[in-house]
Chain A
Amino acid sequence: MVNNYFGYLVLVVVSLGMASSFTLIAVLLGPKKRSAVKDLPFETGMPYVPSAKSVNVKFYLVAMLFLIFDIEVAFLYPYALKVKEYGWTGFIAVSAFLLVLGIGIVYEWRKKILEWDKD
């Protein structure tokens, strides 16, 4: 059984070897000219921000909430493909799932997480 995976091992070794040798060659042979601008952290073309305090922490919260709901709603796609097959049983099950999701929104709303323009 282990022998079946020998080819896979070869693939891993070869690909790691190629990637590291390319990096190594570039480091050894490439020309290097250091300057103050080049040593700055690069952030997708944006000017460098000295302090992170200017970003409101609520952005992070909202992003996280979005991610949670986004992933949970992704569970509906498999159901959408099989709606007719599952019938009413499936409908009730998915409704229960959506009810729990809805309670999540109620929780956010009452905890005033969605009011992120106040401060």
Chain B
Amino acid sequence: MDIDFQLAIILPELVIAGGVIFLSVAGLFLRPNLRMWVIPLLSIAFMLVAGAVLIIDSTSGYGFHKLIVKRRELDFFKLIILLGGVLTTLISTRYLQRRSINYFEFYVMLLAAMLGAMIAVSTTHFLTLLVGIEILAITSYVMCAIRRYDRSSVEAAFKYFLLGSFSTAFILFGIGFMYGGTGQLHFGVDIFPNGQLNNSENLFLVIGGIMFLGGLAFKLAAAPFHFWAADVYQGAPTAVMAFLISVPKIVFLVIFYNFLDSHIKFAPWGVFVLILANISMLVGNAMAFLQKDIKRLIAFSSVAHSGYLLLIVIFHRSEGMAVLGYYLLAYLLASFGMLAIIIKISADKENILLGELKGLFASSPRSVFLLSFFILSLAGIPLTAGFFGKLFLFYEIAPIGGFWIGGAMIINSIISVGYYILLIGHLFKRGVFEHSVVADSKNLEMAYWLAFLISVGILLWPQVVNTFMGFA
């Protein structure tokens, strides 16, 4: 009996898993006033160590009988996931104290979610994938419900839980069908090098693949499977929302990419994803105009971003991963920056309406400057990281997708600028800002300045993603 026991290949995941176990015990034995700052600090330390391992170890290959795959491109996505974890921890510390929900389990759950996300990214085997997705999903439900005496938070968590389990059932059913069609649980590029599943008469594959992709679209909040998104994001604690709109999006887009990369010639799935992408862009941008609550607006803009990114999943050349990575990094930084500022300006109230933003410029000009920067980055206005993301995306999809696909993306981007500009307009309205602004949180400040600096960094050196992934 040979057990393919290559622990080196999952070293970053092992560090995070060790962190989960260590912190869940350490939190029990520490005194409460000590626990308050030791646990977040250690949790960030574990994420930084895992990130350092990812940066240093530039090998690639398979492990555990091809259950785990390690490639430089996938390492980059794990790195952004860890960046998302660090930023979530930074924006949560004071937030949880202020809302008196400062359970140390929150950080343990966050670390476990990182673990699930990293496993799901680094596999091309359905069962390992499912384990990763479920770890990520279950911990997300818990984090969503962390304000458990607040009705809207509990409602959001319950909706998320029900629809999440529903979509997992779809994913599992789809996997079952595909296994029936091929007798294979692998789906990697190396296993199906030339899209060998190019057999559109295989009914099991068509049904199974569409159910699988539909379930993933649920998790990605791509229209028409986006109905839970706005409600859940609105009700979830703002710090958790920042996590929910960025990290699962990275994970599920990479899964989409890995899955379709090996079977891109299998036409029915490509058509299905193309329809999803176009509906997402339209619905996300159109619905965002109608929103009064700033968190709902960001939710619908995230639906539209899912649409843009699904386009590159279908139409890409060999370096498509680098474009996806750049766009997702810019998106993650912009959404974390935005939500960090929203946490800062909503010290006394969870949900802020657009009309209530009036007079913010007078009371906190620096917040308005940063918030505008991040909003412009999401909109893709030139001289922001988001602009380069959209530009690279367009260059990648237009030569393959042709006139209509490129045109659809451009038109939708132009529509989206409308509501982003309206949002910035609200920031500069005259009046008296009625909510109190957080002034005492160094971690929160660190989070949005970090997001700002990295945004500027990737704006000045956009080639860093290519270099890391080894495309150069």
Is A103 a contact partner of B203 (Cβ separation < 8 A)?
Answer: no
Interface residues of B in 109-123 (CB under 8 A from A): none
Residues of A within 8 A of B5 (CB): 89
Q: How many residue pairs between the two chains, A and B, have CB atoms under 8 Å in the bound complex?
A: 23
Stretch in A44-52, A68-76, A104-112 touching the partner:
A104-112
Q: Give the interface of A toward B (CB within 8 A).
A: 1-2, 82, 85-86, 89-90, 100, 103, 106-107, 110-111
Is A110 a contact partner of B28 (Cβ separation < 8 A)?
Answer: yes
Nearest B residue to A92, CB-CB: B5
Is A85 a contact partner of B29 (Cβ separation < 8 A)?
Answer: no
B452 beta carbon closer than 8 Å to chain A: no
State A89–B1 Cα separation when bound (angstroms): 11
Q: Name 11 interchain pairs, CB-CB below 8 A, sorted by A.
A: A1-B202, A1-B204, A85-B1, A86-B1, A86-B3, A89-B5, A103-B21, A106-B25, A106-B28, A107-B25, A111-B28
Given known A-B contacts A85-B1, A86-B1, A89-B3, A100 and B21 have beta carbons under 8 A apart? yes
Interface residues of B in 175-191 (CB under 8 A from A): none
State A89–B6 Cα separation when bound (angstroms): 12
State A107–B58 Cα separation when bound (angstroms): 37
Residues of B within 8 A of A111 (CB): 28
Interface residues of B in 124-178 (CB under 8 A from A): none
Residues of A within 8 A of B29 (CB): 110
Known: A82-B1, A111-B28. 11 other contacts (CB 8 A): A1-B203, A1-B204, A86-B1, A86-B3, A89-B3, A100-B21, A103-B21, A103-B25, A107-B24, A107-B25, A110-B28
Q: Give the interface of B toward A (CB within 8 A).
A: 1, 3, 5, 21, 24-25, 28-29, 202-204
Min distance, Cβ A99 to any Cβ of chain B, angstroms: 8
Residues of A within 8 A of B21 (CB): 100, 103
Min distance, Cβ B176 to any Cβ of chain A, angstroms: 14
| Interface hub of B5, B28, B29 (most chain A Cβ within 10 A) | B28
Residues of A within 8 A of B28 (CB): 106-107, 110-111
A-B CB proximity, top 7 nearest: A110-B28, A85-B1, A103-B21, A103-B25, A89-B3, A107-B24, A106-B25
State A69–B24 Cα separation when bound (angstroms): 18
| Interface hub of A82, A85, A107, A111 (most chain B Cβ within 10 A) | A107
State A103–B27 Cα separation when bound (angstroms): 12
Min distance, Cβ A91 to any Cβ of chain B, angstroms: 12
State A100–B21 Cα separation when bound (angstroms): 7
Residues of B within 8 A of A1 (CB): 202-204
State A46–B386 Cα separation when bound (angstroms): 66
Residues of B within 8 A of A106 (CB): 25, 28
Residues of A within 8 A of B25 (CB): 103, 106-107
Min distance, Cβ A56 to any Cβ of chain B, angstroms: 20
Min distance, Cβ B1 to any Cβ of chain A, angstroms: 5
State A100–B29 Cα separation when bound (angstroms): 17
Residues of B within 8 A of A2 (CB): 203
Min distance, Cβ A71 to any Cβ of chain B, angstroms: 15
Nearest A residue to B201, CB-CB: A1
State A110–B27 Cα separation when bound (angstroms): 10
State A90–B3 Cα separation when bound (angstroms): 9
Min distance, Cβ B19 to any Cβ of chain A, angstroms: 13
Residues of B within 8 A of A107 (CB): 24-25, 28
State A107–B21 Cα separation when bound (angstroms): 10
Nearest A residue to B24, CB-CB: A107
Nearest B residue to A106, CB-CB: B25
Min distance, Cβ A87 to any Cβ of chain B, angstroms: 8
Residues of B within 8 A of A100 (CB): 21
State A118–B202 Cα separation when bound (angstroms): 61
Residues of B within 8 A of A89 (CB): 3, 5
Nearest B residue to A104, CB-CB: B24
Residues of A within 8 A of B24 (CB): 103, 107
Residues of A within 8 A of B203 (CB): 1-2
State A1–B182 Cα separation when bound (angstroms): 12
Residues of A within 8 A of B1 (CB): 82, 85-86
State A110–B203 Cα separation when bound (angstroms): 53
Nearest B residue to A2, CB-CB: B203
Min distance, Cβ B158 to any Cβ of chain A, angstroms: 18
State A1–B1 Cα separation when bound (angstroms): 35
State A106–B202 Cα separation when bound (angstroms): 51
Nearest B residue to A100, CB-CB: B21
Min distance, Cβ B432 to any Cβ of chain A, angstroms: 46
State A55–B21 Cα separation when bound (angstroms): 34
Nearest B residue to A109, CB-CB: B28
Nearest B residue to A110, CB-CB: B28
Residues of B within 8 A of A90 (CB): 3
Min distance, Cβ A85 to any Cβ of chain B, angstroms: 5
Residues of A within 8 A of B3 (CB): 86, 89-90
State A2–B3 Cα separation when bound (angstroms): 37
Min distance, Cβ A105 to any Cβ of chain B, angstroms: 11
State A100–B204 Cα separation when bound (angstroms): 39
State A86–B28 Cα separation when bound (angstroms): 35
